[in-house]
Structure 1
Amino acid sequence: MARIYLCPTGFCKSPQAEHGDALRLAGGMVYVHRFAVIIAEAGRVVQRHLASPASMPEVLAKLPAELAAEAEEQWANLSLAHPPLQCGDRIIRLDQPQIMGILNVTPDSFSDGGQFLGDDDVARAHAGEMLSAGAAILDIGGESTRPGADPVWEGDEIKRVVPAVEFSSAMGAAISVDTRRPAVMEAAQKAGAHIYNDVSALRHDPRSLEFAAASGLTVVLMHAPGSGDNLHEGADYNNVVFDVFEWLRERRDAAIEAGVRSDRIILDPGLGFGKSLSENLALMNNLALFHALGHPLLLGVSRKRMIGALSKEAPAHDRLGGSLALAIAGMNAGCQLLRVHDVAETAQARDVWRGQRDAALTDFTLND
């Protein structure tokens, strides 16, 4: 079956750079002048047309009838401005990149396992440092999802996560919890959490969809090929970009059908989960396509294995430069949320990036 994809390809610093013929991507700080309108079958591109906002109506009008409605929906989604996230008393605007700071209360996470587990004072201090450094959200995880990690009993996960949620809530933080288990998320919500960040996209537990809908929480749906304890296994892509797009669409639709509000869904393409280096790079180079699904995007690439693979096998604790490079690439693609370990450095990079974007809106103007 033929599928259609509207992929932003030609970015510009400001609309005036293209005499106004540019689209403001997802209501953010990124502008796009050129789009690839792609028709694919079984992951293979069979037609590709280039269009600008001015010429897009003409291109869409010539599409096959069975693809026209989907193309129109994607075109509308690419310019859709998302409402702020309401996290208790905190309001997180999505018209600019926001930082989600990682707090792992686990013994075996790939980058900082054990560093913040078992000592609430140390974990509390780190949470406070991330908030002070510019984290809009704290993402708390009690189970490692690195390749080969052992699954955690939900009772142990609750014991790890809930105290961290409680002291983060006492600081007034917006809180996300990285878990696959609705029982953990239910306990975390009672302790003050606001976002259900499920790396299995509500597949791991048969109760997840029902709980997500009933809870009223904002939900992050992340792509991962594995359906059991190992989220990294079973990858088989015709075209990783199109396949992840369709997979996230299916999980989004399942969540909405179960009762999750569309405006409370965030999508994450799952960089590093069951993907090779070349597949991760393909996703990074086409992140902007995922705005066509009509939801905010979360990017989690901080300190990941792909950085080591591209930088002489640098260990996880020595991947700051690569993490910042990928974070900036995510900002350039319009990603609204960046999940990172190094909050202060990423916040500084984001603030400089934002200053450049603001300045570009007044560049090259004619003086009277």
Structure 2
Amino acid sequence: MQALLSTPSTLNCRGQIVSLKKPVVMGILNITPDSFHAGSRFEDPDRIRQQAQQMLAEGATFLDIGGYSTRPGAAEVSEAEEVRRVVLAIDTILKAFPKALISVDTFRSGVARRAVEAGAVMVNDVSGGLLDQAMFTTVAELNVPYVLMHMRGTPQTMGSMNQYQNLLTEVIDELAQRVHLARQAGIKDIILDPGFGFAKNADQNYQLLAQVEALQIFQLPLLIGLSRKSMIWKKLGISPAEALNGTTVLNTIALQKGAKILRVHDVREACEVIQIMEWMQKA
């Protein structure tokens, strides 16, 4: 019975089985001109290829391709333009690295479909299916793992939707509703993302991280994305470019609380955190 109730330790990525017994790293590759961290923006195919090569060499298990910036107040991007950006990146990467495991960061089912047809093996949806009613059925049909994130509103409005009576309870309740619907639609592999920075202010982000192990009640793998976020650099009075040290601290805490996937801009440093944590557990 215990084995049946345990958190899944593998993901089926279109026939490629990925183990999560040891945490893994997802490298962020934004095909946008306006993502909050300038060091993560890549639009030229040569630069996309170079960055993918570096991230894979440094130990990334997944590359997360995004064609629509979801930072607070981000500008709208047409679906056609988002498709163009992500398909360009996927084609570029897979021509050079055919075994690369690519996740598409999108809340649009049409973009998810085109990306998977181009070779992506995972859908990472910041809206948890709230912004496209066809997302769950599309992902179920595509039969790929799905990252279900907690968010309220849209990238343009989420900053004003951070009123909670009890942050942890409401995040769990809202995630539970979305997980239920995703399961009903037929999605098999679900990964949960608490959504740091999405409809949550800096203090709420720290409050959520302090209690994030409570999400293990879902018995689903946790993806944690804290890399260079404003909860670090605004609090410290620095820039996103200076927020690597703070990111490493928060990634360490996230691993202690059960994170299975770290979504980061800086792959080598995240892999080092995972390795050091493993040595500590064996000590």
The two structures share one fold, judged by TM-score above 0.5: yes
Q: Paired residue for 1:96?
A: 22
Q: Any conservation in 1 of the 2:226–2:251 contact (CA below 8 Å)?
A: yes
Distance change (3 Å), C-alpha of 1:114 and 1:304: closer
Distance change (3 Å), C-alpha of 1:334 and 1:186: same
Matches within 5 A, 1:1-16: none
Q: Any conservation in 2 of the 1:301–1:327 contact (CA below 8 Å)?
A: yes
Which residue identity does 1:152 align to in structure 2?
A: V
Q: CA deviation at 1:88?
A: 4.0
Q: CA deviation at 1:114?
A: 7.7
Q: Paired residue for 1:338?
A: 262
Which residue identity does 1:197 align to in structure 2?
A: N
Which of the residues 148, 154, 165 maps onto 1:238?
165
Q: Paired residue for 1:143?
A: 68
TM-score by length of 1: 0.73
Secondary structure in 2 aligned to 1:232? Answer: helix
Q: 2: CA distance between counterparts of 1:189 and 1:324? A: 31
- Alignment deviations for residues 47-101 of structure 1 (CA, whole Å, 9 cap, x no partner): xxxxxxxxxxxxxxxxxxxxxxxxxx9xx69971413112246432111211000
- Alignment deviations for residues 91-119 of structure 1 (CA, whole Å, 9 cap, x no partner): 321112110000000010000278411x1
Q: 2: CA distance between counterparts of 1:115 and 1:218? A: 25
Q: Paired residue for 2:174?
A: 247
Q: Paired residue for 1:209?
A: 136
Distance change (3 Å), C-alpha of 1:178 and 1:98: same
Secondary structure in 2 aligned to 1:91? Answer: strand
Q: Paired residue for 1:32?
A: none
Match status 1:347 vs 2:271: yes
Structure 1 runs not aligned, ≥5 long:
1-72, 360-368
Secondary structure in 2 aligned to 1:148? Answer: coil
TM-score by length of 2: 0.94
Higher relative contact order (CA 8 A, sep 6+): 2
- Alignment deviations for residues 254-302 of structure 1 (CA, whole Å, 9 cap, x no partner): 11112222xx111100001111222111111111110111111000000
Q: Any conservation in 1 of the 2:35–2:41 contact (CA below 8 Å)?
A: no
Secondary structure in 1 aligned to 2:65? Answer: strand
Q: Paired residue for 2:195?
A: 270
Match status 1:357 vs 2:281: yes
Greater share of residues in helix: 2
Q: 2: CA distance between counterparts of 1:298 and 1:127? A: 20
Secondary structure in 2 aligned to 1:309? Answer: helix
Matches within 5 A, 1:1-368: 80-88=6-14, 90-112=16-38, 115-117=41-43, 119-170=44-95, 171=97, 172-227=99-154, 229-261=156-188, 264-311=189-236, 313-359=237-283
Q: 1: CA distance between counterparts of 2:202 and 2:78? A: 31
Q: 2: CA distance between counterparts of 1:132 and 1:138? A: 12
Across the two proteins, how many residue pairs are aligned to each other?
A: 281
- Alignment deviations for residues 19-51 of structure 1 (CA, whole Å, 9 cap, x no partner): xxxxxxxxxxxxxxxxxxxxxxxxxxxxxxxxx
Q: CA deviation at 1:353?
A: 1.4
Structure 2 runs not aligned, ≥5 long:
none
Q: 2: CA distance between counterparts of 1:295 and 1:328? A: 20
Say what the alpha-carbon RMSD is for the aligned residues: 2.0
Greater share of residues in strand: 1
Same amino acid, percent of matched pairs: 38
Q: Any conservation in 2 of the 1:81–1:95 contact (CA below 8 Å)?
A: no
Secondary structure in 2 aligned to 1:205? Answer: coil
Distance change (3 Å), C-alpha of 1:220 and 1:335: same
Distance change (3 Å), C-alpha of 1:248 and 1:77: farther
